[in-house]
Structure 1
Amino acid sequence: MNLNAPSMSHFVRDGLKLAFFDEGDPNGPPVLLIHGFASTAIANWVHPGWLKTLGDAGYRVIAIDNRGHGTSDKLYDADVYHPWIMAEDAVALLDHLGIPEAHVMGYSMGARVSTFMAMAHPDRIHSLVLGGLGIGMVEGVGDWDPIADALVAPSLDDVTHARGRMFRAFAEQTKSDRQALAACIQGSRDLATREDVARIEAPTLIAVGTKDDIAGSARELADLMPHAEAVDIPNRDHMLAVGDKVFKAAVLEFYNRLDKR
């Protein structure tokens, strides 16, 4: 397997055309990947080497472009980007592919979406990997309004907020629809409650970079969950942790334990 971008397919849910790829071993255990805010299936999972890593390990690798992202349809109403709505998009993709249950891995916003999926559809989740989001899942991850402002500013030069500049630059790099992303960041910040998280029975791995100033503690979130474990991704911030070899090795070891049961 190489790092070339796979071709994207599409399916329709509630009149929305949503993009995905379905690669790797078609007979292997399925892994559904849900990318982070302002990213895409390609940017989050192909370029950092996850498709190759999981494909080479014998998995069927499926990744969705979340609504408002990549080549999926764009919407400009914040109320259509709640994480439980995007979770239903992910479930609909499994339905479309005829997959009853999958390993589900999300990064950052994708970890939030994955968690809401696990809360609403526990029967569809073989395991959960939450990258780039720890206790921020229930406590929040700070003020994101400046990111929305940065996304719709006339140019990057007009943005002074540090995190806003980071996401604006990333959105330009991925050639994203910045208006759709501004709506998404306003709509997708719903928190999970401690009680809901505590009811997630799926085996869960939570991985956060030690220099990540967005996610919050992986261990604090893991401590709320009955079958969760935490992994530190050393010396990585929120943007760089996603492709780290420590993260990949931890996920492969986690999956190997589960799939041998």
Structure 2
Amino acid sequence: MATFTNEGLSLSYLDEGPRDGSVVLLVHGFASNMRVNWVDPGWVQVLTQAGYRAVAFDHRGHGESDKPTDPTAYTPEKMAGDAFALLDHLGIERAVLFGYSMGARVSAFAALAGPERVGALVFGGLGLGLVHGVGDWDPIADALLAPSLDDVTHERGRMFRAFADRTRSNRQALAACITASRKELTAQEVGRIRQPTLIGVGTRDDLAGSATELAQLMPNGHAFAIEGRDHMLAVGDRSFKAEVVRFLEEDAAIPAI
């Protein structure tokens, strides 16, 4: 696996597709990794077959990347800095950022920090929760640090603990991440994100918040309902893939870099 460095951390990444294609930087969700979020569900294949250069990386604390256990390492600003460091490493000036769940939050912070480098955005699994929050996550941190899944009774905590166990994640690093990465944006800050933005949320997703209400806060926001999907299953949905490709081709075209 290829690596780059930022703030002294070694982070893993992939870079697939035509080098003359427009770049889509894939930013995965909490407790996931680029393989689980983007490779296995077919996103890298879909994007490269459509002519895009697909770049993805494992967040700090995830996958094959370094895993600090200090919560201060996991602010959205620092994680957005990793995304820009990867673009710098590859000599890419401008990209579409496609983030899922926590990755969508990181992508929003990146769009505000470096708007000239973000040509368009796709948010999956995060709607108005970007502003209002996505509930109480302290039980998730507790679940991650519990001796075993059998010791976890909180329903959402069990879901994320089981997912972390399945992906063989470093649970101490994830617990640190979840304590610091939940920072929200204000409605006014969201209103400053002027890039074309597609927001896809499953109709059975009880975490993300409304895609429509978030889109209404944005000058160029577009909501898409991923029918019949919850937070975990929406990411690989065929209709979402088709809508993302349509959005990239029709609403968010940026020059190849």
Aligned twin of 1:4: none
Aligned twin of 1:5: none
Q: Report the AA paired with residue 259 of structure 1.
A: A
Does 1:15 pair with 2:5? no
Matched residues in 2 for 1:69 and 1:149: separation? 18
- Residues 139-154 of structure 1 aligned to structure 2 (within 5 Å): 139-154=132-147
Deviations 1:77-96 (A, max 9, x none): 11110111100110110011
Aligned twin of 1:241: 234
Aligned partner (choices 181, 184, 194) of residue 188 of structure 1 = 181
Aligned twin of 2:193: 200
Matched residues in 2 for 1:85 and 1:224: separation? 25
Matched residues in 2 for 1:139 and 1:20: separation? 31
- Residues 1-261 of structure 1 aligned to structure 2 (within 5 Å): 8-257=1-250, 258-259=252-253
Q: Report the AA paired with residue 208 of structure 1.
A: V
Matched residues in 2 for 1:222 and 1:245: separation? 22
Matched residues in 2 for 1:32 and 1:84: separation? 17
Structure 2 contact 119–254 (Cα < 8 Å) conserved: no
Matched residues in 2 for 1:27 and 1:73: separation? 30
Note the C-alpha offset of 1:14: 1.3
> Structure 1 stretches (4+) deviating beyond 6 angstroms?
none
- Which structure has the higher relative contact order (CA within 8 Å, separation 6+)? 2
Q: CA RMSD in A?
A: 1.0
What's the secondary structure of 1:205's corresponding residue?
strand
Matched residues in 2 for 1:161 and 1:117: separation? 32
Matched residues in 1 for 2:121 and 2:246: separation? 13
TM-score scaled by length of structure 1 = 0.96
Note the C-alpha offset of 1:26: 1.9
Matched residues in 2 for 1:184 and 1:259: separation? 33
Deviations 1:127-178 (A, max 9, x none): 0000000000000000000000000100000001111111001101111000
Note the C-alpha offset of 1:217: 0.1
Matched residues in 1 for 2:20 and 2:2: separation? 19
Structure 2 contact 22–254 (Cα < 8 Å) conserved: no
Matched residues in 1 for 2:253 and 2:199: separation? 18
Work out the number of aligned pairs and report it: 254
What's the secondary structure of 1:100's corresponding residue?
coil
What's the secondary structure of 1:104's corresponding residue?
strand
Q: Report the AA paired with residue 70 of structure 1.
A: G
Note the C-alpha offset of 1:260: 8.0
Matched residues in 1 for 2:235 and 2:194: separation? 25
Structure 2 contact 98–121 (Cα < 8 Å) conserved: yes
Matched residues in 2 for 1:164 and 1:222: separation? 29
What's the secondary structure of 1:259's corresponding residue?
coil
Structure 2 contact 23–52 (Cα < 8 Å) conserved: yes
Note the C-alpha offset of 1:259: 2.4
Matched residues in 2 for 1:23 and 1:111: separation? 21
TM-score scaled by length of structure 2 = 0.97
Note the C-alpha offset of 1:27: 1.6
Matched residues in 2 for 1:216 and 1:200: separation? 18
